[in-house]
Chain A
Amino acid sequence: MNISILYGTETGNAEMLAEDIQSELEGDHDVSCQNLSDVDPMSLVPEHLYLLVCSTYGDGELPASAQPFAEAMEAAKPDLSAIHFAIFGMGDSEYDETFNHGPKRLAELMLAHGATQIGERVAHDASGPEMAEDLAFPWAEEIISQAEERLGAAA
């Protein structure tokens, strides 16, 4: 399967996790990994499964590197109805009222432009006991098997 991991980060935690997911999946799939700041929302393609990894900053806002992507999406209003994505969030439950609101916003933005979400949004908590990769690897496996069922292994 063609997998594009796209990350939105402020201090680099989501970038590290995205690279870890890439290494984990590389043996079985064609995987690329890019910063959302370098991605044009008009360039997304139906042949790829998009795994978004995104943190939260400020008061429940998108991290800096996801903001240009979100702005470009709002400006260009691309039709993403052929696009499939899944999303993994990173946040901190110390910010209880806005816990993982960044990835929530990003998912809503994708959905608002017609994209199809696969699986549940899973959230890592920087104040919790788990390592992000211990949540993210099983999440990625599960997403891929769901995607293979829906899109066919040929994707």
Chain B
Amino acid sequence: MSGKIAIVGAGPSGCYLAQSLLKAAPDLEVDLIDALPVPYGLVRYGVAADHQGTKAVTRQFARVFERQGARFFGCLRLGDDVALEDLRAAYDAVVLATGMPVDRPLGIPGDDLAGVFGAGRLTRALYDHPDAETLPELGAHPLIVGNGNVAIDLLRLLAKDPDELAGSDLGAGPTDWLAGAGIESLTITGRSPAAAAKFDPVMIKELAKLGGVSIDVVGTGASDEPDAVKTLDALASIAGHGSGARNVTFRFGLTPAEVIGSQGQVRAVRFTSDAGDETIPCTSVLTAIGFDADPDLPRDALLESATDAGAGALAPGLYATGWFRRGPRGTIPENRADAQALATHILDDLTADPAKPGRAIFEGRTGLVDYDGWCRIDAAETEALPEGRCRAKITTREEMTRLASKGVTTG
């Protein structure tokens, strides 16, 4: 089967989709377009620096380019560098796989005070995303709001001693920042009772490996429901762990009502709970309560008018997958299942129009990064390794594009 397909977003969803499409129809022309000079989305910039095993899926994605013939077009931002209408005119099918990158705000008074930071903003900075803001001062007593896996990732990273990051790809800047952050305590709060907390129990058990902390788990309650039992058992297994200087406290059933500040700076968060109001002092508030769509892309309108949103069909020749379609929930395997189902759907629909130019519309464009360019960046990041690190990420777009500099070859 022939046909030209553009997938916008080279994160796991886009890569799995390209893999499935090309497995079923090796003659397709599949192009993965990304706003960044580098592929792999949140596998590179979200999955924790100390969870390298999870990042091993990138070996599969490399195959998609190296053996299955997909092409990478980095530094092409949909909306800025290319319009959706132009892509749809050039390709037989266009798939949006651009994820959900924007931190969801708390939506309570004071959530805009200095010292309130979203998990996306922080993890992008920690993992050297080229568009990240700088790493902020958190003070001695950060408070994390949220009980998902992202909140636990953040908690674990901030609770680690420098030697516990051996084998990771945490960069030199973030490593120094963390060592000098002066964190004395970390409190993490969830709105639900412990039994309904969303984090994976395995992520909780992992905290028992931390050497520099002492962990308190307050007010867990009880449940007979099997999933809840796993969660409660995991929490029980870390309660009282360690006698390190850095205290970690888990709290549940607390709904944030107001971030309290003075002189424009966070001082505390007031919560409501079944037991009445409670105010917890803190030096910064780190929110990990979900993500929203990039406001530059008309996600809501596209999903509302979709022919079959559940299947990822937005309009004739236009599809969506991954977090962009499903919302900011779900792990890498869920994106794989989603992409595999969508690939079948696209191939059923596909009618190739040989007159469509496909990737030829990018011919002559300068500043793009192709897969070979990414390989040069990758080589530079892995050839001279600092002690205890498996990768030293290039941190700026300028340096990335310079390293990739031979540019895109079209044809």
Contacts and interface: CB of A to CB of B under 8 A. Distances in A.
A11 B202 contact: no
Contacts, number: 41
A94 B57 CA distance: 16
Given A59-B201, A94-B51, A12 B57 contact: yes
A95 interface: yes
Contacts of A58: 202
A94 B59 contact: no
Contacts of B333: 10-11, 57, 64
B52 interface: yes
B16 interface: yes
Given A12-B60, A16-B60, A59-B202, A126 B53 contact: yes
B1 interface: no
Interface in A1-19: 10-13, 16
A46 to B, nearest CB: 31
A92 B52 CA distance: 9
Given A10-B333, A126-B53, A127-B52, A95 B202 contact: yes
Contacts of B53: 92, 94, 125-127
A57 B52 CA distance: 15
A95 B54 CA distance: 11
B63 interface: yes
Interface in B102-135: none
Given A64-B333, A127-B167, A13 B56 contact: yes
B359 interface: no
Query: Secondary structure of the A side of the interface?
Result: loop
A95 B16 CA distance: 25
B332 interface: yes
A126 B202 contact: no
Contacts of A94: 51, 53, 206
Interface string A91-131: 01011010000000000000000000000000001110000
Interface string B313-352: 0000000000000000000110011000000000000000
Interface string A39-60: 0000000000000000001110
A16 B59 contact: yes
Contact of B56 (A57, A64, A95, A126): A126
A11 B167 contact: no
Nearest to A98: B202
Nearest to B19: A12
Contacts of B205: 59, 97
B21 to A, nearest CB: 14
Contacts of A126: 52-54, 56
Given A57-B333, A126-B56, 16 more contacts: A10-B333, A11-B333, A11-B336, A12-B60, A59-B201, A59-B202, A59-B205, A64-B337, A92-B53, A92-B54, A94-B51, A94-B206, A97-B205, A125-B53, A126-B54, A127-B52
